[in-house]
Amino acid sequence: MAEKTINITLKVWRQGGKYGDGKFETHDLKNIGTDMSFLEMFDVLNEQLVSKKEMPVAFEHDCREGICGTCSMVINGQAHGPMKGTTTCQLHMRSFADGATITVEPFRAKSFPVIRDLVVDRSSFDAIIQAGGYISVNTGQAQDANAIPIEKDTSEKAFDAATCIGCGACVAACPNSAAMLFTSAKVAHLSTMPQGAVEAKKRVQAMVNQMDKEGFGMCSNVKACEAECPKEISVENIAKMNREYISSVLGSDKEG
């Protein structure tokens, strides 16, 4: 059975750099296979541009398996596109109708300056992790997996937070360009587990302070971050981080 194909009009953002002027470019693409991923569709576009000796569209990708978090695009106004719990690389062209006009632009945030076209600089996330998103306490040699009993509910909450891939969709979706969901996921992941609880107070202060230094906005409970997160990280982590931060600042041993 022949693969179904569609024709689309692609409006893609082109920008030469952080301080360059940007604009939308329109391209008509014919006979795009509906089983293609969104990034494969961009591969087709770039092949056509190169064949015409034109500059290909710059976009980020690595694993193309929804793991690395680099395939960040705003598609028709939604971070990663219309499918819930899906990264751009996992989005397929069957999600779009024949004859559709698809607008693609980079994540828009002051803390994510455009490098070129659809590629943004997310090193601000790296700075937040470097500020405290790790365990530095010397725990000695690696222990057996069952040496530290952890309740199932506790481990599940930690693993749910750990699924964050740091793509930045939460920042792109937030009207305040807040990084609270990303930061709270990293804080919750580590502080929930006994190995990370030792440095919990120091960690949450360091990471929140760095988040503010990077120029991200504050959370106003719109919850667009949770709605657009490809890993469906819960905003409950933001509440947990806020409690931990207040507790650490006040010097209380209670989370609240």
User: Residue 56: which CATH number?
Assistant: 3.10.20.30
pLDDT at 86: 96
Looking at 115, 131, 159, the residue that finishes a domain is 115
DSSP state of 4: P
174 φ, ψ to 5°? -75, 130
pTM of structure: 0.91
pLDDT single digits (tens) 19-71: 678 999 999 999 999 999 999 999 999 999 999 999 999 999 999 999 999 99
Domain count, the chain: 2
The set of residues, in sequence order, having a beta carbon less than 8 Å from that of 182 and lying 6+ positions away, is: 125, 128, 164, 166, 168, 170, 171
Q: In this structure, are 180 and 232 located in the same domain?
A: yes
Same domain? For 144 and 175 the reply is yes
State which residues of the chain have pLDDT below 70.
1, 19, 139-140, 142, 145, 252-256
Q: How far apart are the first and last CA of the chain?
A: 60
pLDDT for the residue numbered 144:
73
At 237 the pLDDT is 97
> Does 245 share its domain with 131?
yes
Instruction: Please identify, among 81, 115, 149, the residue that sits at the C-terminal boundary of a domain.
Output: 115
Examine the domain organization and report whether 52 and 168 are in the same domain.
Answer: no
Q: Is residue 255 part of a domain?
A: no
- Is residue 256 in some structural domain? no
CB 234 within 8 A of CB 228: no
**137 and 240 assigned to the same domain:** yes
Statement to judge: residues 172 and 66 lie in one domain: no
**What pLDDT score was predicted for residue 186?**
97
| pLDDT value of residue 20 | 74
The residues, ordered by sequence, that sit 6+ positions from 43 with a Cβ below 8 Å of its Cβ are none
Nearest-CA neighbor of 33 among 2, 4, 64, 1?
A: 4
Looking at residue 21, its pLDDT comes to: 86
Q: What percent of the chain has pLDDT over 70?
A: 96
Q: Do 134 and 241 fall into the same domain?
A: yes
Same domain for 60 and 133, yes or no, is: no
CATH of the domain at 193: 1.10.1060.10
> Domain residues for 162?
122-250
| Structural domain includes residue 61 | yes
Query: What's the pLDDT at 183?
Result: 98
